[in-house]
């Protein structure tokens, strides 16, 4: 029945779209520059509809199946001024336009090198700033992007504020490359993005592109299944100031103020945002107090742009990463075991400062220059400083685990003590990214890369002990440092071979040097050195079947190094050292668009070698412990569609069906003898199993109804199928 319903939705999507072909008007023409040269790849959009096309190699475009009426048609091309034309369509219309080069360089050049273009043979979704602001009630970006295909968002607090994360096609956040204005955002060691350190970033975002699959070459951590490219809000031409406030359930309040000078003397501008965000969280004691600021100053001439961005973030969040025990789900779904202990009378209590506290500040200096007609240079220096800790109460901790001598008092030796500890992180991340971009006529090309350095200190201190003995306050029981350097270079090109066919090629080389030195929280030495060299080629074809139909095919290779936790957990065991992962990604897609409907189908097949998958165990800070598996794959179909059956109603939905499997999986486990509590390491072969955290069916729907021009209701629903915490497929 489920499969029949899915096939019915697909049929309806195609049928409704096809009906528009039977009757309708056409709009066609040619786009050229001021010299009369054809502009291949220019974008033409009809405002308020799903309809958009790109020009062919000869600069021609065509719309068919349009209803009679008045339309606003928008013509754009990176580096050229966007123009709009009002077209009265009462029959077939021919409209030629000429685009004028921009007098000044714009922010679009900053992100063009790392984004998929209109004719890229890749699966991607563009999310506009308008959509983001409509959804922005204070939740982190993973929740604002939750309606994009194959997307799953998670929240430790349960309400989308605080510690949040995401998965795309089952791929976890440590494999998803994230950039802001082309600058890498992923933490180099964990390869994660901690959105909690960037509260209310969405209020300073202009647009986002989410690429599924390997995607185009980017800066920073390797894209190993998806990438997210964020462009921050551009400078406004006129002075402005605004105050925004919102409130929600579980004591959630968001307030921010945004102001800007506008463009002064056509050269200078400054704008800023300050946000305060507070919530109690859905899960008990996961409340958060967050502050953030975004400041941007700009200076530009006719051919150059210099921009300085500062992003400041500070968070105080209650710990909730242990999850809710299964036995508590039926009686108290909000239960949180973090900070639980028993006092002298045996009464259960909770430590009131079981919390995570962190400050992260980003400093960016961006320079772009238009060198010649169609040629531009982009470069950026960046520096990120982060420092903070999480604090927790530990009951009956063996003092020898902290390098301490047991305390003797009253003739008794105390081997255990209650204590409060803080685990600190202090890190510096800095580097340079650059690209040389060319876009003219039939060719769009970029050469770019980056050089990044990272140094991160990890250490733990005890701030209180019931039986301190000789231990001083702020006694430090471990310290280690990780240093990571990366150099990458890429070259990519899209070439319109003839009016309907474009060829895409992308080559990237990455070199990584990672050193770990010191002792970890279990007092074990984790000294180790790792070096990696990766070559990541990509190629594809894009075919414009008709003005409203497109098809594409691509094949990409990606490689990824293990994270700090992966290496740390294998310290002292050479056979357990994790291997780098390799991915072969094939994408095949088809898109169909009309004025009031659209349909897209993307098929993917991702073959992994030595993929790191969760064992089901968590580290002491909530990270999944991983293991390499020789062969695994993800294969699926992504369906997206949209309809505007009437001017006041619209419906967008997405559906993903997938198979995510590991071949010949062997489970390793510890078998405990209940008679004497002895243990024995064992293994058993389970054959082909599902990959953990990878549901085979996901989908979302957004049905909107406009009551009056200023009010629109959205009925949003989402479905996530069954998934497993580990690879054994156990239901309990």
Integer Cα distance of 216 and 537 in angstroms: 10
pLDDT, tens only, 222-262: 789 899 999 998 888 889 999 999 999 999 999 999 999 99
User: What is the distance, to the nearest Å, from the Cα of residue 219 to the centroid of all Cα atoms in its chain?
Assistant: 14
Percent of the chain with pLDDT over 90: 60
Domain 1-102 fold is Immunoglobulin-like (2.60.40)
The pair of structure tokens assigned to 690 is 């599902």
pLDDT for the residue 19 = 47
Mean pLDDT of the 282-305 span: 92
Mean pLDDT of the 288-304 span: 92
- List, in sequence order, every residue forming a beta bridge with 230; answer none if it has no partner: 180, 208
pLDDT for the residue 11 = 46
pLDDT for the residue 102 = 67
pLDDT for the residue 709 = 79
b/e burial code for range 134-171 (CB count within 10 A of at least 16 → b): ebbebbbbbbbbbbbbbbbbbbbbbbbbbbbbbbbbbb
pLDDT for the residue 20 = 47
Residue 76 has a CB neighbour count (10 Å cut-off) of: 17
pLDDT, tens only, 564-617: 999 998 877 777 789 999 999 999 999 998 878 899 999 999 999 999 887 666
pLDDT for the residue 276 = 96
Say whether pLDDT at 15 is over 50.
no
Number of Cα atoms under 13 Å in the Cβ half of residue 584? 7
**126 CB-contact burial (10 Å; exposed 0-12 / middle 13-18 / buried 19+):** middle
Q: SS3 for 126?
A: strand
pLDDT, tens only, 617-658: 655 555 557 788 999 999 999 999 999 888 889 999 999 999
b/e burial code for range 383-402 (CB count within 10 A of at least 16 → b): ebebebbbbbbbeebebeeb
* Look-up of token digits 């050269």: 267
Same fold, 1-102 and 240-720: no
Integer Cα distance of 374 and 529 in angstroms: 44
Integer Cα distance of 302 and 103 in angstroms: 6
Instruction: Give the domain ranges of the chain.
Output: 1-102, 240-720
Residue 70's H or E segment, with its range, is: strand 69-76
pLDDT, tens only, 271-287: 999 999 999 999 999 99
Residue 204's pLDDT band (cuts 50, 70, 90): very high
Q: Model pTM? A: 0.87
Integer Cα distance of 194 and 141 in angstroms: 11
Question: What's the Rg (C-alpha) of the chain?
Answer: 27
Between 2.40.170.20, 3.50.50.60, 3.40.50.300, 3.40.50.2000, what CATH number should domain 240-720 receive? 2.40.170.20
pLDDT, tens only, 441-452: 788 899 999 999
Percent of the chain with pLDDT over 70: 92
Number of H helices, E strands in the chain: 5, 39
Please provide the average confidence, as pLDDT, over all residues in the chain.
88
Residue 37's H or E segment, with its range, is: none
Mean pLDDT of the 673-679 span: 66
Integer Cα distance of 595 and 591 in angstroms: 14
């Amino acid at each position: 029945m489920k499969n029949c319903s899915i096939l019915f939705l697909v049929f309806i999507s195609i049928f409704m779209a096809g009906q528009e072909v039977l009757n309708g008007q056409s709009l066609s023409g040619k786009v050229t520059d001021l010299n009369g040269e054809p502009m291949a790849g220019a974008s033409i959009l009809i405002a308020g509809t799903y309809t958009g096309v790109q020009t062919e190699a000869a600069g021609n475009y065509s719309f068919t199946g349009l209803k009679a009426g008045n339309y606003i048609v928008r013509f754009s091309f990176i580096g050229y001024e966007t123009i709009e034309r009002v077209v009265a369509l009462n029959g077939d219309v021919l409209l030629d336009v000429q685009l004028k080069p921009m007098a000044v360089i714009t922010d679009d050049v900053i992100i063009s090198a790392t984004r998929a273009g209109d004719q890229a043979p890749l699966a991607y979704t563009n999310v506009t700033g308008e959509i983001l602001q409509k959804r922005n009630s204070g939740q982190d970006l993973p929740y604002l992007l939750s309606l994009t295909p194959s997307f799953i968002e998670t929240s430790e607090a349960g309400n989308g504020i605080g510690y949040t994360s995401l998965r795309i096609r089952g791929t976890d956040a440590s494999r998803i490359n994230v950039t802001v204005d082309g600058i890498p955002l992923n933490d180099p060691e964990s390869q994660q993005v901690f959105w909690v350190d960037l509260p209310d970033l969405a209020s300073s975002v202009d647009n986002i592109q989410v690429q599924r699959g390997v995607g185009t070459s980017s800066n920073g951590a390797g894209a190993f299944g998806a990438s997210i490219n964020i462009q921050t809000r551009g400078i406004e031409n006129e002075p402005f100031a605004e105050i925004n406030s919102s409130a929600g359930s579980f004591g959630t309040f968001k307030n921010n103020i945004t102001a800007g000078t506008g463009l002064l003397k056509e050269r200078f501008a400054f704008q800023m945002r300050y946000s305060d965000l507070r919530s109690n969280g859905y899960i008990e004691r996961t409340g958060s107090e967050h502050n953030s600021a975004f400041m941007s100053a700009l200076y530009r001439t006719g051919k150059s742009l210099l921009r300085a961005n500062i992003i400041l973030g500070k968070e105080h969040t209650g710990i909730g990463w242990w999850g809710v025990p299964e036995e508590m789900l039926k009686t108290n779904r909000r239960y949180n075991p973090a900070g639980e202990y028993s006092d002298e009378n045996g009464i259960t209590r909770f430590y009131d400062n079981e919390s995570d506290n962190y400050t992260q500040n980003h400093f960016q200096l961006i320079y772009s220059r238009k060198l010649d007609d169609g040629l531009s240079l982009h470069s950026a220096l960046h520096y990120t400083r982060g420092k903070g800790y999480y604090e927790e109460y530990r009951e009956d901790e063996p003092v020898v685990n902290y390098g301490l001598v047991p305390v003797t008092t009253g003739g008794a030796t105390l081997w255990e003590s209650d204590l409060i500890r803080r685990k600190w992180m202090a890190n510096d991340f800095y580097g340079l990214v650059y690209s040389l971009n060319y876009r003219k006529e039939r060719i769009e090309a970029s050469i770019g890369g980056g050089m990044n350095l990272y140094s991160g200190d990890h250490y733990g201190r005890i701030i209180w002990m019931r039986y301190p003995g000789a231990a001083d306050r702020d006694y430090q029981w471990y310290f280690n440092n990780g240093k990571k350097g990366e150099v990458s270079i890429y070259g990519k090109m899209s070439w319109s071979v003839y009016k309907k066919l474009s060829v895409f090629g992308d080559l990237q080389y990455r070199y990584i040097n990672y050193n770990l030195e010191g002792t970890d929280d279990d007092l074990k030495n984790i000294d180790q050195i790792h070096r990696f060299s990766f070559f990541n080629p990509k190629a594809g074809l894009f075919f414009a079947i008709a003005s409203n139909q497109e098809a594409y095919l691509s094949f990409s290779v990606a490689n990824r190094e293990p994270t700090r936790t992966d290496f740390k957990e294998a310290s002292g065991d050479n056979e357990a050292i994790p291997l780098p992962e390799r991915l072969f990604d094939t994408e095949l897609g088809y898109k169909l668009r009309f004025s009031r409907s659209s349909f897209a189908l993307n098929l993917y097949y991702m073959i992994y070698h030595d993929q790191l998958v969760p064992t089901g165990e968590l580290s002491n800070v909530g990270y999944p412990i991983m293991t390499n598996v020789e062969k695994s794959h993800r294969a699926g179909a992504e369906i997206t569609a949209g309809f505007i059956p009437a001017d006041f109603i619209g419906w967008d939905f997405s559906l993903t069906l997938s198979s995510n499997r590991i071949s010949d999986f062997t489970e390793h486990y510890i078998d405990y003898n209940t008679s004497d509590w002895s243990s024995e390491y064992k293994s058993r072969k389970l054959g082909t199993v599902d990959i953990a955290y990878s549901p085979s069916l996901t989908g979302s729907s957004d049905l909107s109804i406009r009551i009056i021009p200023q009010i629109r209701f959205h009925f949003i629903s989402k479905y996530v199928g069954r998934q497993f915490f580990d690879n054994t497929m156990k239901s309990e």
